[in-house]
Amino acid sequence: MSAEAPRTSFRTADVDEARQMIGATFYSNFMDVIEGPRAFRAEFDIGQLGALTLGELSCGADVRMRLGELGAYHVNILLGGHMRFRQGGAAGTVATAERAGVFQPVGDTVVERWTGDCRVLAVKMDREALDRRLEQLIGRPVRVPLTLAPALDTTRGPGRSWARLVATVIEDLRTGSGTTPRGQASMYTSPLIVAPLQEAILSGLLLAAEHPYRAELGAPAQRLRPAPVKRAMDAVQERPEHPFTTTVLAAEARVGVRWLQEAFRRYVGMSPMAYVRDVRLTRVREELRSAEPSTLSVSEVAHRWGFGHLGRFAEQYRDRFGELPSQTLRG
């Protein structure tokens, strides 16, 4: 949470004001009140934690929302009531106090009913931040898009622990302030706190939710790699645009070239230079996704991340992501 705006506390009985606040902090939306016995009264406490937006939200009355594609991963932990939602062409899901609702970045999103007695602990996670955390945990690039199950059991196991962690952070946010009584900055303004806490929330969700990589995360022995391999991988993650060669990476790892090549094939599943290429392709995709097509070209981004031959780059990109880089940019 930044020192300038650690939190936003907002109360209103006006639907348009509530819609605008959700649009400013979470997602653009259309909100309608469903006729019922309760009067609309929105109460929002929202703050930032690095790449995360967290908040406690309630509307007082039953509402319906249309949000389009979110562009981020999102989880709603319910403290009461229920929320029925659907994304894309998938069947509807009902979130309750025992089952959190989990949203994907893609697919038109509709909240068909958010009941008036439902208070929500909301966690919005930057798409690239969660994807990158997954890659760090499994130690290799993610080739198949991460798809989280639409519901998360918060009554037991990792789901319960994760929900408690989120609740603690949001409670501190809701009752805290930007400075202490003595005028000192809140601990949530310090990178020493924000970075590991963000990492804990991202890692916790990946360990608690169901997804195709869940079994791999649950097998720590498969993730253990020799220190030289980790040194080489860290160097690539930190400077993917650097003109690495296998020899340079071997020097970073402080081992011989042949040892590094064999270790990468055994522990990473690809050669050192294939790993470099894969990390660079991922960074290109992240930049193309967030860019305005009128202000950036594919060739500019490709050259910035170390791809000299545009034809070969486009072919590698399509093989990796199933579409051309120009399609990603336009999308």
286 and 174 within one domain: no
What is the rounded average pLDDT of the residues 220-234?
Answer: 77
**In the predicted structure, residue 174 carries a pLDDT above the cut 50:** yes
**Whether pLDDT at 291 is above 50:** yes
Q: In terms of pTM, does the model score above 0.75?
A: no
According to the model, what pLDDT value does residue 4 have? 39
Q: Kindly report the CA angle at 93 between 77 and 72, in degrees rounded to 5?
A: 60
Residues 217, 290, single domain; the answer is no
- Grouping H, G, I as helix, E, B as strand and the rest as coil, residue 100 is strand
In this model, does residue 159 exceed pLDDT 70? yes
How confident is the model at residue 192, as a pLDDT? 73
Do 278 and 251 lie in one domain? The reply is yes
Q: Is pLDDT above 70 for 178?
A: no
Check residue 145 and report its DSSP letter.
P
pLDDT of residue 224: 65
Average pLDDT score, the chain: 88
267-290 confidence digits (pLDDT tens) = 888 899 999 999 999 889 888 887
239 and 217 housed in the same domain: no
Sign of torsion over alpha carbons 156, 157, 159, 161: positive
What band does 249 get if pLDDT is binned at 50, 70 and 90? Answer: very high
Domain enclosing residue 277, as ranges:
225-330
Domain identity same for 21 and 85: yes
User: Rounded to a whole number, what is the distance in angstroms from the first to the last CA of the chain?
Assistant: 30
* CB-based contact 85:119 (threshold 8 Å): no
In sequence order, what are the beta bridge partners of 45? 9, 56
Nearest in space to 141 (alpha carbons), one of 286, 245, 252, 249:
286
Query: Quick one: pLDDT at residue 188?
Result: 65
Query: Treating both helix axes as pointing N-terminal to C-terminal, what angle do 272-290 and 227-238 enclose, rounded to 10 degrees?
Result: 30
In a shared domain, residues 181 and 110: yes
CATH of the domain at 35: 2.60.120.10
Rounded distance between C-alpha atoms, residue 81 and residue 97, angstroms: 7
Same domain? 177 vs 99: yes
- Judge residue 157's burial from the number of C-beta atoms within 10 Å of its C-beta, 0-12 exposed, 13-18 middle, 19 or more buried: exposed
